[in-house]
Amino acid sequence: KQEVTQIPAALSVPEGENLVLNCSFTDSAIYNLQWFRQDPGKGLTSLLLIQSSQREQTSGRLNASLDKSSGRSTLYIAASQPGDSATYLCAVLNQGGKLIFGQGTELSVKP
């Protein structure tokens, strides 16, 4: 059974810092991995999607990497801003076609 774990559960950093969010999964047989952002009271916004054959994806200040063999992904946020404050969720699409989520990392960027 696929399990997705995110560490840390919460993170507080000063503005301008570079930071890394971690995601691990137990079954490497995945189709893709996706990082989402969730603002309080809102739905999920897709940030980056990495296909199983890819190693990383970049969008602006965000870079996500995928190491399928070790069951790990990282989301790197450069030069963090207060507007980056949100919960970040990692999810893997398993070969049954089901999206399995981690519990999220709550990020707070202080001005």
Q: Interface with another protein by CB under 8 A: which residues? A: 4, 31, 34, 36, 41-46, 49, 89, 91, 93, 96-99, 101-104
Our CB check for another protein shows the closer of 31 and 76 to be 31
Task: Please state the three-class secondary structure of the chain as a single string.
Answer: CCCEEEECCEEEEECCCCEEEEEEECCCCEEEEEEEEECCCCCEEEEEEEECCCCEEEECCEEEEEECCCCEEEEEECCCCHHHCEEEEEEEEECCCCEEECCCEEEEEEC
Our CB check for another protein shows the closer of 50 and 109 to be 50
Measured from the CB of residue 78, what is the shortest distance to another protein in angstroms? 24
Measured from the CB of residue 43, what is the shortest distance to another protein in angstroms? 4
Our CB check for another protein shows the closer of 4 and 75 to be 4
Measured from the CB of residue 16, what is the shortest distance to another protein in angstroms? 28
